[in-house]
Amino acid sequence: MNIELLGIIVLWIFLYGYIIIASIDFGAGFFAYYGKVTKKDHLINNLISRYLSPVWEITNVFFFVGIIGFFPSVAFYYGTALLIPGSISLILLAIRGSFYAFSNYGSKENKVYLFLYGATGLLIPASLCTVLTISGGGYIIEKNGVVQFLAKNLLTSIYSWSVVIIAIISVLYISATFLTYYASKAKDESALAILRQYALFWTVPTILSSFLVFVGLRDNNVRFYQNIVNHYWWMFLLSLICFLIASSLILLKRNYGTAFIFVMLQFFFAFFGYGAAHLPYILDPYITIYNGYTNQTSGTMLVTVFLLGLLLLVPSLLFLFKLFLFDAEYVQGKK
């Protein structure tokens, strides 16, 4: 395996891990606000807050630092295009962070703060997902060394909005399925009943939004679409099978932990199938993993650092989960 391909695979693994962990946290914030509005906060918010507290800092891992290190030309092409969504994301992250800063002073009971916290959890992934949309091509052109961002094309594209929709729905679906498992682990039957309903509710929108993305992609990038249909269809079939297994287990009220593992596998196959079908392009048609790659020495060093980071991060996460999230007394709110 060449160093360019290894580099993008390592980055994709980091991005996948970030999506799963951040989705749980982002969706939990929305459900906390929704519970407040529907007067069910006394049933679910205590459980949700036990999840939010120990993991927030871990989700602040940014894929963009690595992608620019491996592929410096990304900054040149994406710089203008990501100025607005990037700025919006930073503002939303600041608002979200302020919730924690003021939570010690009672803001968790304030509907305005809770609304901002829940809303940012949906708007942040919606703004960040524009990177994946733009990478498919059609929204950036280069003429005489000048990069022009076609914002109107992005805002009027069915594919663009379908990606935003699936990003928001996926956050809610991933979070709901995890919190369902977490409630069962905590033996909190009241919270489990409500969160299980949330998980089941978001199953249908999840699958419908997935098909909407395929429809939009067919019109936006024929090569990308045909690559999926001709070569990587089996990964999306596996994703669908995992989705059906996870949904069935939740519907049958059994093995919620196994159900969430299949949810992770569902998104693993879909996410890596999407990435593989997009190769070798990082920005179609301007940047590939070969012509946009940094030099061999820097690339080797970055791959080594990221691999060491994975070896350090995974055991750290497992230790944290064991110490806090899945500790028998902590998960039941006894400490």
- Cα separations in angstroms, 143 against 77, 83, 155: 12, 20, 22
Which pLDDT does position 18 carry in this prediction? 81
pLDDT at 56 over 60: no
Residue ranges of E strands in 195-311: 281-283, 287-288
pLDDT digits (tens, 9 = 90+) for 130-147: 888 888 888 888 877 777
Which pLDDT does position 54 carry in this prediction? 42
Which pLDDT does position 242 carry in this prediction? 96
pLDDT at 105 over 90: no
- The mean pLDDT value of the chain amounts to 79
Listed ranges 89-103, 138-152, 308-322; the one with the highest mean pLDDT: 138-152
Which three-class secondary structure state does DSSP give residue 142? strand
Domain ranges of the chain: 3-331
| Dist. CA 202–CA 4, nearest whole Å | 37
Please report which helix (H) or strand (E) contains residue 141, including its range. strand 140-143
Position 121 confidence tier, pLDDT thresholds 50, 70, 90: confident
| Dist. CA 297–CA 295, nearest whole Å | 6
pLDDT digits (tens, 9 = 90+) for 20-39: 888 888 888 888 888 888 88
pLDDT digits (tens, 9 = 90+) for 64-78: 566 666 666 676 677
Nearest by Cα to 56 from 68, 48, 45, 44: 48
Which pLDDT does position 308 carry in this prediction? 74
| Dist. CA 145–CA 263, nearest whole Å | 44
| Dist. CA 258–CA 181, nearest whole Å | 9
Please report which helix (H) or strand (E) contains residue 35, including its range. helix 3-37
| Dist. CA 225–CA 145, nearest whole Å | 29
pLDDT digits (tens, 9 = 90+) for 175-188: 999 999 988 887 88
| 140 contacts 283 by C-beta, under 8 angstroms | yes
What is the greatest pairwise CA distance in the chain?
Answer: 65
Position 206 confidence tier, pLDDT thresholds 50, 70, 90: very high
Which pLDDT does position 333 carry in this prediction? 54
Phi-psi region of 195 (alpha: psi -120 to 50; beta: other; left: phi over 0): alpha
pLDDT at 253 over 60: yes
Which pTM was predicted? 0.86
- Cα separations in angstroms, 76 against 112, 141, 149, 154, 311: 39, 12, 12, 19, 31
Which pLDDT does position 59 carry in this prediction? 46
pLDDT digits (tens, 9 = 90+) for 260-297: 999 999 999 999 999 899 888 888 888 887 776 666 66
